[in-house]
Structure 1
């Protein structure tokens, strides 16, 4: 029996501290105590070209339908152009961030960006140019498969920095996939 004014036993204090810590971090973790990144689809493939790394994954594959997710990660301090930018840019400046499919896959909607574009003014360009904030941009594209077979995902983008200029635009960088009822995986070279 505890006397008034005495401290609780260490075990009880440690148990309450541990419970409080778990309550604080629980919203930050996914089921099973894993981080949210652990539950994200694993990249099917990735490549780096002209200062941007693109990681492609496939998720929610059911009944020959799924979602392609591409994370475009430019070098630090660089931004990407909006998906809404015309194919040749604005007054020749910039190239849209894009993801298109051909072959056994067809788009089942428009690509959606996970970031809001903002307009910037550039010297020598009369119209505003829509860009995403510096850093990674995620595009998602719902797709459907007509039949098993080969598909190609074509990526396009350009990255720029206010201090370091722009990289050479990338147009139609191909990523080849093999599509089956089970999903889409990298095609054998």
Structure 2
């Protein structure tokens, strides 16, 4: 009985692991972006809208070909670790340029960033770009989404 009351109280107060994240969505640069944020984790899913397109890797060096994918936070959240992707990067061969580009496989990739809540409203900042073997789309740089965090 005690456990039932404790679980019910946790559920009704919105605390604990069952808490729903704050969410937001937008489309920019031919990529659908979904953001889910809780007091301890931000997850951003990047989904190219065109078949055969890839998202650039988190580990792409700055100043080179393509733009590295970035997920960061401001106002309301503080990063407590490094971002990580749910897919392994691969090298996309670009013969016309004589280059290889670090990308994620076709389709969606989710980047997770461990965070700590510092206020009730968060700003999630993303930068990314998408490409295929023959076309690179204009990058999205420092797109900021402001969202209230769950209590």
TM-score range, shorter chain: 0.7 to 0.9
Q: Is residue 2:151 matched to residue 1:176? A: no
CA change 1:42–1:67 in 2 (3 A) is closer
Residue matched to 2:94 = 122
Native 8 Å contact 2:37 2:149 kept in 1: no
Is there any run of 5+ residues in structure 1 with no aligned partner, and where?
1-38, 60-64, 183-189
Is there any run of 5+ residues in structure 2 with no aligned partner, and where?
1-17
Aligned equivalent of 1:79, options 44, 54, 71: 54
Structure 2: distance between partners of 1:155 and 1:122: 25
| Offset at residue 133 of structure 1 (A) | 0.7
Aligned length: 132
Residue matched to 1:66 = 40
Q: Which structure would you say has the larger Rg?
A: 1
Q: Is residue 2:127 matched to residue 1:166? A: no
Q: TM-score, structure 2 length as denominator?
A: 0.77
Structure 2: distance between partners of 1:157 and 1:44: 19
Q: Which has the higher contact order (CA 8 A, sep 6+)?
A: 2
Structure 1: distance between partners of 2:92 and 2:52: 15
| Offset at residue 77 of structure 1 (A) | 1.4
Structure 1: distance between partners of 2:41 and 2:21: 13
Structure 2: distance between partners of 1:125 and 1:174: 32
Q: Is residue 2:128 matched to residue 1:153? A: no
Pairwise CA RMSD of aligned residues? 2.2
Structure 2: distance between partners of 1:170 and 1:114: 21
